[in-house]
Amino acid sequence: MTARSQPLCPELETALYRLYRDFLDRAERKRRWSLRDDIPWGRCNRSLDPAVADVVESFLAVELYLPDYVQSAMAVWRPSRAFSWFYANWGYEESKHSLALGDWLLRAKMRTEEQMADLERRVLRHDWNMPHDDPVAMLAYAMVQELATGLNYRNLQRCAGGDPALAKLLGLLGVDEQTHHSFFLRAVRLFLEHDRPGTLRQVHRVLHNFAMPAIYELADGPRRVQAIKALGVFDDRLFFTGVYLPVLHALGVSRPELRRAG
């Protein structure tokens, strides 16, 4: 269980609150999308490669742990208005992701209602627990995980060429995840300004122990991870080139500096 964050110093809280307000303004102006109207549901392809549907189902499973993600983040960041309000909005956006993925599996006839109910039951059997015991590590984890998830969706989108509905929804989800990543990246930058060695220690821990959440907690997790690799959607090499190096670059941290911090 991650300890509740101490109240942040007023300067940091003010800067984070500004970041959140900016995030919300842009989301309202540019990024809102409708589950019903913005996805061409009539163009689902029922003969798409079933391997793609299996990976969609794995990503749906990850998104179904939403109650655990929100509950944990809210508990840790309760003393910060910036983060509490951010997570309220974040939860709304993430809730649409599982709906979109689940609706596609049903409409493309890749899964039945019974199979979907069974997946949900299996997911709910486990709680997701935060992989780090420190609030700043959790932020760094979110920064890394959102970028990795966005990359996963973009790479899966390349396999969805024959299905305009899936391609469109993965594009929408990818943009959301990229924007979530940018928020967390900016937040981590503020923590770096505030306490560089302490923040870098947490960034090091996260980058060197990263795994996509929740997939491994499913009974058939290893098979699902294998299927994601087989489609070229995500693996260790893609993590290194598409997440690890870009995160360090965006934070202005060299690999020797990170190593020293660890």
Residue from 44, 52, 97, 238 in contact with Fe ion (CB under 5 A): 97
Report the alpha-carbon distance of residue 210 to residue 8 in Å, rounded.
Answer: 26
**Is 180 a binder of Fe ion (CB under 5 A)?**
yes
Residue with Cβ nearer Fe ion (201 or 239): 239
Q: Which of these ranges, 9-17, 178-186, 231-239, 247-255, lies near Fe ion under the rule CB under 5 A?
A: 178-186
User: Would you state the structure tokens that stand for residue 205, as one six-digit string?
Assistant: 């821990």
C-beta of 97: minimal distance to Fe ion in Å?
Answer: 4
C-beta of 238: minimal distance to Fe ion in Å?
Answer: 18
C-beta of 18: minimal distance to Fe ion in Å?
Answer: 21
C-beta of 185: minimal distance to Fe ion in Å?
Answer: 13
Report the alpha-carbon distance of residue 56 to residue 101 in Å, rounded.
Answer: 7
Residue from 137, 177, 213, 247 in contact with Fe ion (CB under 5 A): 177
Residue with Cβ nearer Fe ion (136 or 172): 172
Of 77-96, binders to Fe ion (CB under 5 A) are: 94
Residue with Cβ nearer Fe ion (52 or 212): 212
Report the alpha-carbon distance of residue 157 to residue 135 in Å, rounded.
Answer: 33
Report the alpha-carbon distance of residue 123 to residue 64 in Å, rounded.
Answer: 7
How many Cβ atoms from other residues are within 10 Å of residue 223's Cβ?
Answer: 11
Residue with Cβ nearer Fe ion (134 or 146): 146
Of 107-166, binders to Fe ion (CB under 5 A) are: 146
- Burial (CB < 10 A; 0-12, 13-18, 19+), residue 249, is exposed
What is the b/e burial string over 138-170, where b = at least 16 CB atoms within 10 angstroms of the residue's CB? bbbbbbbbbbbbbbbbbbbbebbeebbbbbbbb
DSSP state for residue 57 in the 8-state scheme: H
C-beta of 181: minimal distance to Fe ion in Å?
Answer: 8
Decide: 80 and 10 in contact? Cβ < 8 Å.
no
C-beta of 180: minimal distance to Fe ion in Å?
Answer: 4
Interacting residue ranges for Fe ion, rule: CB under 5 A: 94, 97, 146, 177, 180
